[in-house]
Amino acid sequence: MRPPNTSSRYAIPWSALVVSLVGLLLCSTAKVCNAQDAGQVKFVNSCKYSLTFNSTGPQIGTLSPGANKTIPISSFNQGGQNRIIPYPNLQDNMCPNCDGWTDLGGPPGTKQREGWMWEGNDAKYAAYCNPSLSGRGICALQHNCCGKGMVQDGTYGTHFEFTPKGTPTNDFVNLSTNYGSGPHDPPKLCGSPGSHPDDCVDKAAVIFYNVPIEWTTNQNCTFSSKGTQVKGGKCFAASCPDAYQHPTDDKQVACAVSPSRGYVVTFCPAGSSMPNPQ
């Protein structure tokens, strides 16, 4: 934006300047500022906490509350999956007692993770704790389940999956939680009776959800084999219908490749919420 001319003819009233500055400060949460830019993916943090991202594609780093970062689509792995997971950054004294997540049933692989373990009284743990370490009596000692020392290794959390030019004509944009068919009906275990090797999970697999998410684009895409026309998707709970709930779920979104297409990915979007950590 061109800087204001300081001559009296073009002087900007102080009140108008203040309004403009306030608008810039609020820009990251206003719809007009979250418009899709051609050839770009914009990541927006509308959460009350900063988010650090684990990405198999371009690095996003940490976004403060209200901040955003725009990355060219060309910077992502082309034809390959870019998996991005957000992690909320809490001060240690704000964290829930992650050792209290005992419904997990012990170390990974002891008991298959089920959707109900991410809901109800366990929702605060699912939002802010590492499920591979929590509920085992080690969090208070090691200080790595939540807070400054939290292990944010990409093995858990909300999955946003972006595959630009997954085919020469389509980008693929997917959400995935592996919640299963219900709170007590997770995906089949690999090797169990009736399981299929392409549609099963390991006993140590987690439910991939911690932070609510919504993605949008400025042109139509097709959702599932039904070809439903959509311009985005959202996941406000582990059971969200827009996400893959088992590995071969019919939830793929295909977006025609276009130089004028852009995407916005918002964490904690309007209409969503995160539980109080304590």
Instruction: Supply the CATH number for residue 52's domain.
Output: 2.60.110.10
Q: How many beta carbons lie within 10 A of that of residue 144, not counting itself?
A: 16
**So what's the pLDDT on residue 33?**
55
Q: Has residue 164 been placed in a domain?
A: yes
pTM strictly above 0.85: yes
Domain of residue 58, residue span:
36-89+157-267
So what's the pLDDT on residue 19? 33
Rounded to 5, what percent of the chain is helix, strand, coil?
15, 25, 55
126 inside domain: no
Q: What is the pLDDT of residue 191?
A: 95
In a domain, 23, yes or no: no
Q: What is the CA radius of gyration of the chain?
A: 21
Q: Are 117 and 103 in contact (CB under 8 A)?
A: yes
In a domain, 22, yes or no: no
Is 249 among the domain residues?
Answer: yes
For tokens 């594609």, the residue is 57
Strands of 68-151, DSSP E: 68-72, 82-89
Q: Is residue 45 in some structural domain?
A: yes
Residue 210 within a domain: yes
What pLDDT is attached to residue 34?
75
pLDDT in tens, 69-99: 999 999 999 999 999 999 999 999 999 999 9
Q: What is the mean pLDDT of each run of 10 residues along the chain (278 residues)?
A: 35 38 42 80 98 98 98 98 98 98 96 98 98 97 97 98 98 98 97 96 97 98 96 98 97 98 98 97
DSSP secondary structure, 71-126, as one string? EEGGGSPTTS-EEEEEEEE--GGGS--GGG-GGG-SSTTSS---GGGGSGGGHHHH
SS3 77: coil
What is the domain count for the chain?
1
Q: What is the pLDDT of residue 5?
A: 38
**pLDDT at res. 16:** 38
Evaluate whether residue 263 is within a structural domain. yes
Q: In the prediction, which pLDDT does 58 show?
A: 98
The whole-number pLDDT of residue 205 equals: 96
